[in-house]
Amino acid sequence: MLWSVTRYAKDMVSGDGVLIWVSGEQAGIYAIAEILESPKNVATPADIGYWIDTSRASNRTCVKIRFTSKLLDKPLLRENLKQDPMLQHLMVIRVPNGTNYKVTPEEWQRVHELRN
């Protein structure tokens, strides 16, 4: 699956982990994925049908990912993450208007502890 990259493309490499955040009333981490290839510019992304204004979809930087864990039945919700001493400082919680965020190794480890 291709995923849009808006920041940190030069820092992403194959094997890096990804946390998939869903925003909204029940915001939180809903999946974990792995980067399969370095980011690249894609003229016409596979999800072109998703875009109302298709001019915004062309020539996007994307990274190929593979889901390794889906947490759809038990997502790690923002309200709970805000109570966790390690995860309350996630950038997606502090500055929610962005798209791609870095996660520290300690935050990554804590997410894996909580999902089990």
Residue range 63-72, pLDDT digits in tens: 999 999 999 9
pTM > 0.75: yes
| Helix intervals (H) in 6-104 | 78-81, 91-94
Query: What is the chain's mean pLDDT, rounded?
Result: 88
Measured between its terminal Cα atoms, the distance across the chain in Å is: 25
Looking at residue 41, what is its pLDDT?
A: 86
Q: What percent of the chain has pLDDT over 70?
A: 87
Model confidence pLDDT, tens digit, residues 36-59: 999 998 876 665 666 555 566 567
**Total domains in the fold of the chain:** 1
Q: Domain of 74?
A: 2-115
84 pLDDT above the threshold of 60: yes
CATH code (residue 22): 3.10.590
